[in-house]
Amino acid sequence: MDPARNGVNDGDERSVERRELAQRSIRRVALVLPFLCFFVAGSSHAAGTPKPSPTPNPMIAQLDGVIAELREINATIASLRTAVNELGGRIDKLEQVSSDVNDVKATVVPMREEVRGLYVETSNVRSEISRLEEKSVAEAESLGKSRYVFTLLLVATMVLQVVVLAALLRR
Protein backbone atom coordinates (compact mmCIF):
# COMPACT_ATOMS: atom_id res chain seq x y z
CA MET A 1 0.00 0.00 0.00
CA ASP A 2 1.50 3.32 -1.11
CA PRO A 3 0.75 6.02 1.54
CA ALA A 4 1.18 8.84 -0.97
CA ARG A 5 -1.62 7.46 -3.13
CA ASN A 6 -4.00 7.36 -0.19
CA GLY A 7 -3.33 11.01 0.67
CA VAL A 8 -0.99 10.18 3.56
CA ASN A 9 2.09 12.36 3.99
CA ASP A 10 5.43 11.31 5.44
CA GLY A 11 4.37 13.03 8.64
CA ASP A 12 1.41 10.65 8.89
CA GLU A 13 3.55 7.47 8.95
CA ARG A 14 2.90 7.13 12.68
CA SER A 15 -0.83 7.16 12.15
CA VAL A 16 -0.42 4.50 9.43
CA GLU A 17 1.66 2.40 11.83
CA ARG A 18 -0.93 2.91 14.56
CA ARG A 19 -3.70 1.89 12.20
CA GLU A 20 -1.81 -1.27 11.23
CA LEU A 21 -1.13 -2.00 14.92
CA ALA A 22 -4.83 -1.52 15.65
CA GLN A 23 -5.80 -3.90 12.86
CA ARG A 24 -3.38 -6.54 14.18
CA SER A 25 -4.75 -6.11 17.69
CA ILE A 26 -8.31 -6.49 16.45
CA ARG A 27 -7.34 -9.71 14.65
CA ARG A 28 -5.76 -11.02 17.85
CA VAL A 29 -8.87 -10.18 19.82
CA ALA A 30 -11.00 -11.91 17.17
CA LEU A 31 -8.84 -15.05 17.51
CA VAL A 32 -8.73 -15.04 21.31
CA LEU A 33 -12.34 -14.02 21.97
CA PRO A 34 -14.00 -17.38 21.08
CA PHE A 35 -11.60 -19.24 23.36
CA LEU A 36 -12.18 -16.73 26.12
CA CYS A 37 -15.95 -17.10 25.81
CA PHE A 38 -15.61 -20.87 25.90
CA PHE A 39 -13.36 -20.64 28.96
CA VAL A 40 -15.68 -18.24 30.79
CA ALA A 41 -18.76 -20.30 29.91
CA GLY A 42 -17.06 -23.54 31.02
CA SER A 43 -15.92 -22.09 34.34
CA SER A 44 -19.27 -20.54 35.17
CA HIS A 45 -21.05 -23.85 34.65
CA ALA A 46 -18.55 -25.90 36.64
CA ALA A 47 -18.61 -23.82 39.81
CA GLY A 48 -20.42 -20.79 41.14
CA THR A 49 -17.25 -19.03 42.22
CA PRO A 50 -13.89 -19.70 40.70
CA LYS A 51 -11.17 -20.91 42.98
CA PRO A 52 -7.98 -18.93 42.98
CA SER A 53 -5.31 -20.91 41.23
CA PRO A 54 -1.88 -21.16 42.73
CA THR A 55 -0.25 -20.73 39.30
CA PRO A 56 -1.01 -17.74 37.09
CA ASN A 57 -3.31 -18.55 34.20
CA PRO A 58 -1.70 -17.75 30.82
CA MET A 59 -5.08 -16.82 29.41
CA ILE A 60 -5.47 -14.05 31.98
CA ALA A 61 -2.11 -12.61 30.99
CA GLN A 62 -3.16 -12.74 27.33
CA LEU A 63 -6.47 -11.14 28.25
CA ASP A 64 -4.68 -8.34 30.09
CA GLY A 65 -2.49 -7.83 27.01
CA VAL A 66 -5.55 -7.72 24.77
CA ILE A 67 -7.24 -5.23 27.10
CA ALA A 68 -4.13 -3.03 27.07
CA GLU A 69 -4.01 -3.21 23.26
CA LEU A 70 -7.72 -2.36 23.08
CA ARG A 71 -7.11 0.67 25.29
CA GLU A 72 -4.28 1.74 23.00
CA ILE A 73 -6.54 1.24 19.99
CA ASN A 74 -9.27 3.27 21.69
CA ALA A 75 -6.79 6.09 22.40
CA THR A 76 -5.58 5.92 18.79
CA ILE A 77 -9.14 6.05 17.49
CA ALA A 78 -9.90 9.02 19.77
CA SER A 79 -6.84 10.87 18.49
CA LEU A 80 -7.84 10.03 14.91
CA ARG A 81 -11.35 11.36 15.56
CA THR A 82 -9.86 14.58 16.92
CA ALA A 83 -7.57 14.86 13.89
CA VAL A 84 -10.52 14.24 11.53
CA ASN A 85 -12.60 16.89 13.30
CA GLU A 86 -9.72 19.38 13.09
CA LEU A 87 -9.27 18.49 9.44
CA GLY A 88 -12.97 19.13 8.86
CA GLY A 89 -12.61 22.58 10.40
CA ARG A 90 -9.58 23.31 8.26
CA ILE A 91 -11.48 22.18 5.15
CA ASP A 92 -14.35 24.50 6.07
CA LYS A 93 -11.89 27.37 6.43
CA LEU A 94 -10.37 26.52 3.04
CA GLU A 95 -13.83 26.49 1.45
CA GLN A 96 -14.53 29.90 3.01
CA VAL A 97 -11.22 31.27 1.72
CA SER A 98 -11.94 29.75 -1.70
CA SER A 99 -15.35 31.43 -1.83
CA ASP A 100 -13.74 34.73 -0.77
CA VAL A 101 -11.16 34.37 -3.55
CA ASN A 102 -13.94 33.65 -6.05
CA ASP A 103 -15.80 36.75 -4.85
CA VAL A 104 -12.65 38.83 -5.33
CA LYS A 105 -12.18 37.36 -8.81
CA ALA A 106 -15.79 38.21 -9.63
CA THR A 107 -15.16 41.85 -8.71
CA VAL A 108 -11.71 42.04 -10.34
CA VAL A 109 -12.87 41.09 -13.85
CA PRO A 110 -15.41 43.94 -14.18
CA MET A 111 -12.85 46.33 -12.68
CA ARG A 112 -10.34 45.30 -15.34
CA GLU A 113 -12.90 46.03 -18.02
CA GLU A 114 -13.64 49.38 -16.39
CA VAL A 115 -9.92 50.24 -16.25
CA ARG A 116 -9.55 49.21 -19.89
CA GLY A 117 -12.50 51.49 -20.79
CA LEU A 118 -10.98 54.35 -18.80
CA TYR A 119 -7.68 53.85 -20.61
CA VAL A 120 -9.45 54.06 -23.96
CA GLU A 121 -11.30 57.19 -22.86
CA THR A 122 -8.04 58.71 -21.59
CA SER A 123 -6.39 57.99 -24.92
CA ASN A 124 -9.32 59.67 -26.70
CA VAL A 125 -9.06 62.71 -24.42
CA ARG A 126 -5.30 62.93 -25.03
CA SER A 127 -5.78 62.85 -28.79
CA GLU A 128 -8.53 65.49 -28.48
CA ILE A 129 -6.21 67.71 -26.40
CA SER A 130 -3.47 67.26 -28.97
CA ARG A 131 -5.87 68.20 -31.78
CA LEU A 132 -7.08 71.27 -29.84
CA GLU A 133 -3.48 72.37 -29.23
CA GLU A 134 -2.79 72.20 -32.95
CA LYS A 135 -5.99 74.15 -33.65
CA SER A 136 -5.05 76.74 -31.02
CA VAL A 137 -1.62 77.22 -32.59
CA ALA A 138 -3.26 77.64 -36.02
CA GLU A 139 -5.75 80.16 -34.59
CA ALA A 140 -2.94 82.10 -32.92
CA GLU A 141 -1.06 82.28 -36.20
CA SER A 142 -4.24 83.34 -37.96
CA LEU A 143 -4.85 86.03 -35.33
CA GLY A 144 -1.29 87.26 -35.75
CA LYS A 145 -1.84 87.61 -39.48
CA SER A 146 -5.15 89.36 -38.81
CA ARG A 147 -3.42 91.89 -36.55
CA TYR A 148 -0.86 92.56 -39.25
CA VAL A 149 -3.58 93.10 -41.84
CA PHE A 150 -5.60 95.24 -39.40
CA THR A 151 -2.54 97.34 -38.68
CA LEU A 152 -1.96 97.86 -42.40
CA LEU A 153 -5.61 98.81 -42.81
CA LEU A 154 -5.36 101.36 -39.96
CA VAL A 155 -2.21 102.87 -41.47
CA ALA A 156 -3.88 103.05 -44.86
CA THR A 157 -6.96 104.68 -43.30
CA MET A 158 -4.82 107.25 -41.50
CA VAL A 159 -2.92 108.07 -44.67
CA LEU A 160 -6.22 108.45 -46.51
CA GLN A 161 -7.56 110.72 -43.74
CA VAL A 162 -4.41 112.85 -43.92
CA VAL A 163 -4.81 113.12 -47.69
CA VAL A 164 -8.50 114.06 -47.32
CA LEU A 165 -7.67 116.57 -44.58
CA ALA A 166 -4.92 118.10 -46.72
CA ALA A 167 -7.31 118.35 -49.66
CA LEU A 168 -9.91 120.07 -47.52
CA LEU A 169 -7.45 122.50 -46.09
CA ARG A 170 -6.14 123.54 -49.49
CA ARG A 171 -9.42 124.65 -50.79
| Total of domains in the chain | 1
Contact 16, 23 (CB under 8 A): no
Q: Is residue 29 part of a domain?
A: yes
Q: Is residue 4 part of a domain?
A: no
* Global confidence as pTM: 0.32
Q: Is residue 20 part of a domain?
A: yes
Q: Is residue 55 part of a domain?
A: yes
Please check the confidence at residue 83 and state whether its pLDDT lies above 50. yes
Q: What is the domain extent for residue 136?
A: 10-170
Instruction: Calculate Rg over the CA atoms of the chain.
Output: 52
pLDDT digit string, tens, across residues 86-110: 988 888 899 998 888 888 888 877 8
CA 131 to chain centre: 47
Average pLDDT, the chain: 80
Long-range CB contact pairs, 55-59, < 8 A, 24+: 59/35
Q: Is residue 2 part of a domain?
A: no
Q: Is residue 5 part of a domain?
A: no
pLDDT digit string, tens, across residues 6-60: 554 555 677 777 778 778 877 777 777 666 666 655 555 544 555 655 566 778 8
CA angle in degrees (0–180, nearest 5) for 155-157-158: 65
Q: Is residue 60 part of a domain?
A: yes
